[in-house]
C-alpha cells in the first residue's frame, strides 16, 4: 500500500505544479495584453 500513497503524493505535487503553471501563464498573458493594449499608436 506504500506505493499507492507515494503515487498519491506525487500526483498531488504534479497537480499543484500544473495549477500553479496554468495560473502563472494566465497572469503573464493578461499583464502583457493589458500593458500593450492601451498604448497609443504613433
> What pLDDT does residue 3 have?
60
The DSSP 8-state label assigned to residue 41 in this structure reads P
Place of cell 499507492: 4
pTM beyond 0.75: no
End-to-end CA distance of the chain: 66
> What pLDDT does residue 35 have?
79
The domain in which residue 16 lies consists of: 1-42
User: How far apart, in whole angstroms, are the C-alpha atoms of residue 34 and residue 6?
Assistant: 42
Domain total of the chain: 1
> What pLDDT does residue 36 have?
77
- Express each pLDDT in 1-42 by its tens digit: 456 566 678 888 999 999 999 999 999 998 888 877 766 665
Amino acid at each position: 500500500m506504500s506505493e499507492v500513497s507515494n503515487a498519491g503524493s506525487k500526483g498531488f505535487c504534479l497537480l499543484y505544479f500544473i495549477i500553479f503553471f496554468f495560473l502563472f501563464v494566465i497572469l503573464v498573458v493578461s499583464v502583457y495584453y493589458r500593458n500593450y493594449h492601451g498604448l497609443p499608436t504613433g
